Each structure stands twice: as structure tokens, then as C-alpha cells.
Amino acid sequence: MRILGIGKKSRGLIKCSSAESGFTLIELLLALTIVAVMLGIAVLTIPNHDERYWRDNLDQLVASLNAAQDESLMSGSSMLAQIDETGWRFSRPLNVNPMAEANTPATFIPDAYKAKVWAKPVIVSPIQLTLGAESVTTAMRIPIQQDRRFATLVRASNGRFSWESP
């Protein structure tokens, strides 16, 4: 028997029969269904950060390669880009001028070309590209893998970089 409260008329306790107490099976199933739907919606709204970081890294790589390519073409001096499992970095070739101090960098590398690190480890064959000095006659494709994600860094015959995903 369940006690609901104190009644005004009788000034005593109102008692319920055992048939009216508790929840029915239908009420419990309905509550569980509502909770399950709400949890399902909550799980779907949680973003996949790994996927976003993967795409952001690829976008940053392509943007920095294209910027370095443009700067190299405008300045007339080449720039080296190295891409490997740890990340990517830029450098200028050493001076070949015999009057310059031996093994000194040709020019200063701005902060925009500081070394970048992948958000998560990747599998890529280490490669060194010379930007601005060489003529690109054929497209270049560099496969990159991270966990179960695959992308291909593409250097078109015009020297521009992009990435594509299967």
C-alpha cells in the first residue's frame, strides 16, 4: 500500500490499493525508449575530431606548399619542402656563392614556413621537393595514410598542390 498524502476532509492519511502503486511495464518501456532516442541523438552530434584534424592537416600542408611555390617563383630562389611521417618543413638551399660563408642558409625562412607536425602519426614515403626552381612536366601523386584514412597529395603539371581522398 502506498501513502499519497494527507487529505483535507478526513485529516488523516489517504491510502491507495496495491493495484495503483508503482509503474506499469508500458510506462517503463516508454521511458527507456525516450532515453535511448535522446542518447542516440547526443552520440550523433559529437564531432569526429580525428577526421577533422586529418582534413585540417591536409589543408594546411597543401596551403603551405602552394604558398612556398608561389613565393619561390616570385623571389626567384628555390625552397625545399620535406614531407615525412613526423610532419613537413621548409628550408632554403645552402649558398653556393664562394664569397659567402660556408654552409649558411641562403635566406631567412619566415614563421609561415615553420615545421608542422601531423595531429596523429601518418604513413608516407619521405620525400623532398624543390619548389620554384624546377619545371614540373608530369603530375606527381604522393599517398598518405592515417589509421584507416587515405589521401593522395597531388602536384599538378602546373606546379599547384591539392589533395584528394578516395
48-71 pLDDT per residue, tens: 788 889 999 999 999 999 988 888
pLDDT for residue 109: 59
pLDDT for residue 151: 95
What's 93's DSSP letter?
Answer: P
pLDDT for residue 102: 46
Domain residue limits, the chain? 50-164
pLDDT for residue 77: 82
Residue that has been written with the C-alpha cell 601531423 in this structure:
118
Q: What's the fold here for domain 50-164?
A: minor pseudopilin epsh fold (3.55.40)
List, for the chain, all residue ranges whose pLDDT scores fall below the cut of 70: 1-20, 94-110, 133-134
pLDDT for residue 84: 93
Question: Under a CB-based contact definition with an 8 Å cutoff, are residues 81 and 129 in contact?
Answer: yes
Question: Under a CB-based contact definition with an 8 Å cutoff, are residues 58 and 50 in contact?
Answer: no
Give the predicted TM-score (pTM) of the model. 0.64
What's 94's DSSP letter?
Answer: B
pLDDT for residue 124: 93
Rounded CA-CA distance 92/131 in Å is 10
